[in-house]
């Protein structure tokens, strides 16, 4: 059974930082591209960042580029999202997801999803 479990969310002041974690029970985790998405109240789920199987390649949404960093540890079956300089527009539920191909930014292109972790940025 495939499981993706996010953690690390919480309440933070504007300008602060948080680090999100996604623990995966995927077989052959290192063969999956991993991504982070987020969904704010009343909005569609949107792409945030993705990382290739090896971790050598990453892509980011324009809104987070330069502030967020995605990384992974294949030995621990874990992917991370370091979020710095947070602002109120970053408030959302954050989801991690797994796909077989790198560079995908649509939710339909990901095969597995976690339940999400809430990030709230207070101004």
pLDDT digits (tens, 9 = 90+) for 59-92: 999 999 999 999 999 999 999 999 999 999 999 9
Find the largest Cα–Cα distance for the chain. 41
Using the predicted structure, report yes or no on whether residue 93 has a pLDDT greater than 90: yes
Cα separation, 18 vs 38, whole angstroms: 14
Across 75-111, b (16+ Cβ under 10 Å) vs e yields: eebbbbbebeebeeebbbbbbbbbbeebebbebebbe
Length of the chain equals 123
Cα separation, 3 vs 87, whole angstroms: 30
**Percent of the chain's residues with pLDDT above 90:** 92
Rounded average pLDDT over 43-55: 97
Q: Encode pLDDT of 13-38 as tens digits.
A: 999 999 999 999 988 888 899 999 99
Which residue has 């580029």 as its token pair? Answer: 65
Torsion angle of the four alpha carbons 9, 12, 15, 18, in this order, in degrees rounded to the nearest 10: -30
Kindly state the tokens that stand for 53. 């199987």
Q: Are strands 117-122 and 10-13 parallel, antiparallel or unpaired?
A: parallel
């Amino acid at each position: 059974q495939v499981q993706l479990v996010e953690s690390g969310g919480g309440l933070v002041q504007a300008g602060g930082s948080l680090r999100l974690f996604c623990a995966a029970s995927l077989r052959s985790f290192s063969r999956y591209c991993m991504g982070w998405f987020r969904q704010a109240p009343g909005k569609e789920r949107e792409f945030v960042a993705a990382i290739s199987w090896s971790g050598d390649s990453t892509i980011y949404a324009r809104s987070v580029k330069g502030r967020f960093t995605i990384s992974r540890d294949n030995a621990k079956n874990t992917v991370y999202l370091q979020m710095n300089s947070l602002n109120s527009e970053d408030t959302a539920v954050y989801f991690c997801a797994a796909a077989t191909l790198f560079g995908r930014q649509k939710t339909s292109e990901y095969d597995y999803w976690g339940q999400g972790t809430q990030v709230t940025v207070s101004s």
